[in-house]
Amino acid sequence: MKTTGKKNIVILLNLLLFSVISATAQDVTTVDAASEEISENLDLEAVASLFGDAKDLEEFEQKLNDPEIQISNLDLNEDEYVDYLRVVETAENDTHLIAIQAVLGDDIFQDVATIEVEKNADGEAQVQVVGDVYLYGPDYIVEPVYVYRPVIFSIFWRPFYRPYRSVFYWGYYPRYFRKWRPFHVHTYRRNVHVHINVRHTYHRTSLRYSSTAVRIHTNVRRNDYAVRYPNRSYNARVAGVNKANGTKKRAVGVNQADGDKYRAAGVNKANGTKKRAAGVNKADGTKKRVAGVNQADGDKYRAAGVKKADGTTKKVAGVNKANGTKKRVASVSNPDGSKKTVAVKTKADGSKRAVAVNKNADGSRTVKTAGKKSTRGKNNARSKTKKKSRSANKKKKS
């Protein structure tokens, strides 16, 4: 009995362990480098916060790659592990530029962001964290305002200061570093905010202060991954389309049968706004055209359900073909709720007349031909006259 009880306990423990591992695995996902969300996998406010609280650049690099706080969620090389971020600095007079670079392979590095520190005319240090254009697009700049002077500033302008350069590379990492798998972007953004020092403030701007930093960036810039995969750049991932209110919307990339992408078309409407061109799948798998599209014979497809001046709706199925005939019969609503059907009638001599068939409330129909009066009233009158004469003849005979 004791042996059986121990076995049951062991089984229960194994089941619990399996459930915990499964739950953890469900919260982990591979971040696709071709995703438009890739720029959201390294929060530049968190980077600015770490920089302001670090005593030097070596400690800053350690915090960037600390597996306990997981500031980064980038997996650019898609090996299912978050990339190591190295720190490389260059300086000129009162300007320091710190490049953050992802280590992606043997001698393959990609700039992720830069931190630009420069003294202004008043001797105050200004800091800007600039996202690399390949990942973040143009003018993605975070400007932190620290509540106290960062300790790291005290070493930047010391005599004989030597710019920092990380000694780590692909396959050679510090002892504290261990690889971890990237999380879904929503999970990452929820967790990373815990590590942002809220006593500092962070502003978004599109104005880059230091022209010197832009120039000396070329001394340390690495763009190996962008050169290899230009189709994964920010501009390729995200297309900004102007909406009617002047804001931007994202273009949708849709997979075609051959695996390529096509974008949803923005078509100008009469009022200057955009509408999308819709290609709709038919039952046989082919495409049908949308309203206002030329057919092979030069005719137009029209959309059904067009509002009339009186507010009622008519179907615009009756469209003139190239030879002047109608493709479809148009069913039009009358103000009294009855329907009439409009078509073109070809006579024996080749001439044509427009024919309208009214469906009356009592279910009867009245045929009207253009240029002629209704035949319904005359026919009824004649039939009534014939009936009266017949009844009168019967009375005389009797």
Q: How far apart are CA 96 and CA 94, in angstroms?
A: 7
Q: What is the residue-averaged pLDDT of the chain?
A: 73
What is the residue-wise DSSP string for 112-145?
Answer: EEEEEEEE-TTS-EEEEEEE-HHHH-TT-EEEEE
**pLDDT tens column, 295-342:** 455 455 444 455 566 666 555 445 455 565 555 555 556 666 666 655
pLDDT at 293 over 60: no
**pLDDT tens column, 303-312:** 445 556 666 6
pLDDT attached to residue 393: 57
- pLDDT above 70 covers a percentage of the chain that reads 51
pLDDT attached to residue 7: 54
pLDDT at 353 over 50: yes
**pLDDT tens column, 55-71:** 999 999 999 999 999 99
pLDDT at 97 over 80: yes
**Confidence bin at 279 (pLDDT 50/70/90):** very low
pLDDT attached to residue 351: 64
- The whole-number average pLDDT for the span 108-133 is 94
* End-to-end CA, the chain: 118
pLDDT attached to residue 136: 94
Cα–Cα distance list, 317 to 82, 342, 370, 375 (Å):
58, 10, 20, 26
- The contacts of residue 42 (CB under 8 Å, 6+ apart) are 71, 72, 73, 74, 112, 113, 135
Q: Looking at per-residue confidence, does 205 or 366 come out higher?
A: 205
Beta bridge partners of 240: 250
- pLDDT above 90 covers a percentage of the chain that reads 43
Q: Looking at per-residue confidence, does 25 or 50 come out higher?
A: 50
pLDDT at 37 over 70: no
pLDDT attached to residue 277: 42
DSSP label of 253: E
Query: Residues, the chain, total?
Result: 398
Across 229-348, the runs of DSSP E, i.e. the strands, are 240-242, 248-250, 253-255, 261-263, 266-268, 274-276, 280-281, 287-288, 306-307, 313-314, 330-333, 339-346
- The contacts of residue 343 (CB under 8 Å, 6+ apart) are 318, 326, 329, 330, 354, 355, 357
Q: Comparing 20-24, 88-92, 320-324, which segment has the lowest mean pLDDT?
A: 20-24
Q: Comparing 5-19, 99-113, 164-178, 345-359, which segment has the lowest mean pLDDT?
A: 5-19
Q: How far apart are CA 353 and CA 335, in angstroms?
A: 24
**pLDDT tens column, 175-194:** 999 999 999 998 998 899 89
The answer to pTM > 0.75 is no
> Does residue 103 contact residue 76 with C-beta atoms inside 8 Å?
no
pLDDT at 45 over 90: yes
pLDDT at 231 over 50: yes
